[in-house]
Amino acid sequence: MKKNTAIPAIVLSALLLVGCTAAPSPTPIYSFTATPEITDTPAPTPTVEPTAGPASTPTPEITAAAADPTATPTSAPTASPSPTAPPFVTVSAGQSRTALLKPGTGSLRIRAGKGTSFAILGSIPEGDAFDVLDAGDPDWYRVQYCDLIGYASADYIKLGGPSTPIPTYNGVLDTAVLDGLDNTAQGWGIPMETGGKIPVVPSRTARLFKAYGAFCQMDTTSPRVYLTFDCGYEAGYTGRILDTLKEKNCKAVFFITHDYFKSNAALVRRMIDEGHIVGNHSWTHPNMTKLSYRQFTDEIVKLNDLIRETCGYEMTYFRPPEGVFSPRSLAATQMLGMKTILWDFAYQDWDRSKQPGADYAYDKVMKHIHNGSILLLHAVSSSNTEALPRIIDAMRSAGYEPSLLDA
């Protein structure tokens, strides 16, 4: 069976839009005013609580709106643990439990140890799922949110059942977790930059992507760039695109639908045989945030199964149709063993009746190219097809190397 060996085992000016409307900037969620454990506005650099013993007036762990009158600060240890090397005990796989914050919490601080004397490492926003690694202490749970591990007050945590491991292609959705996540549809788009500058992903979105294995750009310290092509139907250009990629010894990602494969199986097999990545663009190209859990699963798993059975190839990347997603849809995609791939470069290239020409396509790409960029191009574009040889040559001349995704 062929495997994608590149994968290890989750409104604005110049906005990138592909048939969708960008969501407004999210409301900031962090705040570290005073000492409450839960907050709802953005935070500055984490601070350390006083290391003296308990104050005569207890320091609240939460904001007044959700204050727990029984909460009292823990006396400082002789030496506070280092936030970068806390004395954690390794927990075996399968022992953790999925959790959510109780409604109205806002966000909950993660600390380097059990008590308010310890350094603040970060926060968990309300609505995001996280893992409780150890619930043995009734007051302070050991938690993991993204790659952040520390301790959080147990009073504001709602434990679920055992955490669902990120499964393989036949995994199931943990609906108890998904039901607690926001399912508001967001259209993807960020402003493009010029002169090699890196487009800035809003911090709330960046945390969301990190939590659920989604990417709109790769390592921005590396000069590698990533050509991706969406293939909803065939307009006669994909063969020429593959010819160019072969001639230039260049690899790309092709996101396909069921209809595309049904009509162009030979082209898909050629993509695989020539070392490209074939990604999942859904079975019927729906808005993934509008589906039932069963429909959501079928949209991804049925196409995975079809490609595996007919081509002996395992798809592990998913691009949501029209770039529409929600926290719930990203989490559900991750639960099905897939990584969500968006982009930080795109332009209106999908309308076959309004093609701007090869020079325009070339200038557009080279004006906005930067380290780690994921470029979204449509394979139905004659402009892209004609400009592609020059684009690849110019990228390399400028020090960039078109590469395979390795998220």
Catalytic residues: 230, 378
User: What's the CA gap between 226 and 154, in Å, rounded?
Assistant: 43
Residue 344's region, left for phi above 0, alpha for psi from -120 to 50, else beta, is alpha
* Residue given tokens 């020059």 in the structure block: 390
195 Cβ neighbours under 8 A, 6+ residues apart: none
* Residue given tokens 């993807």 in the structure block: 188
- Give the CB-side neighbour count of residue 181, counting CA atoms within 13 A: 25
User: What's the CA gap between 331 and 315, in Å, rounded?
Assistant: 18
- Give the CB-side neighbour count of residue 357, counting CA atoms within 13 A: 3
